[in-house]
Amino acid sequence: MTEKLEDQISNWLKNYLAESGMKCFVVGVSGGVDSAVTSTLCAKTGVDTYVLNIPISSKEESTALSTTHCNWLTTHYPNVKYLNVDATNAFGSFEEIFYRLGSTDELASANSKSRMRMMILYYIASLNSGIVVGTGNKVEDFGVGFYTKYGDGGVDVSPIAGLTKTEVRDTARSLKVDYRIIVAPPTDGLWEDSRTDEQQIGASYEELEWAMSYIENSSTAPLTDRQGEVIGIYNSFHSKNLHKMRPIPVFHPGKENS
């Protein structure tokens, strides 16, 4: 019998942790399907797993879904430890520095929230000899680069980065993740309003999956107007975010550098 995908990933995670010499997993849970699947896959290993809800002026609905999922995990998996770390006040103090300088920026603020969450995750990992587990999917991590550099992109291992959003949702159903999380509109939760990923990108994950496949397979099939638009959106994000997806450039004395 073929091993289920979620079992393959959980076994891979368990083996990776053992080989790393570390003792536990640390996962940030946002209320979205990607982090719900990732945290459940870690929990399934039977290894100690810390799940963190880290609201920073977060929308109530996202925090509620995150709390619901974390409570569900602790009920079903005795190896899961749930921590709620409200960093709203800490982030407010951080922003005060820039208010005093008279310089603020909405995008810089949003990315800083993600980087503060990364610092908290690594602090908990350091305290418990753990590794921080990434929650990005294939389209986010290798297609459009829709993540914060050294924020949610700052991780030790990425168990679902080879899965499309569709595959993540299918895995969520198999893992019995709360239906409300599976169908919730994807959002990074970094903005003061309720903008979704689709609103920020201009295309749905299903459309981006199609575009990624079309380009990877060098397809020459004729395109509709919307498909052409989506290809343009995908290529634009991929191009401007390549710096996130490529290794950091290093100058080597005495060698050709390009």
CA distance 131 to 65: 24
Domains and their CATH numbers in the chain: 5-245 (3.40.50.620)
pLDDT band at 74 (very low <50, low <70, confident <90, very high): very high
Predicted local distance difference test score (pLDDT) of residue 59: 77
pLDDT at 246: 92
For the chain, give the mean pLDDT.
93
With a pLDDT cut of 90, the percent of the chain lying above it is 81
pLDDT at residue 195 tops 90 = no
- Residue labelled with tokens 């091993």: 3
**Phi and psi, residue 12, nearest 5°:** -65, -45
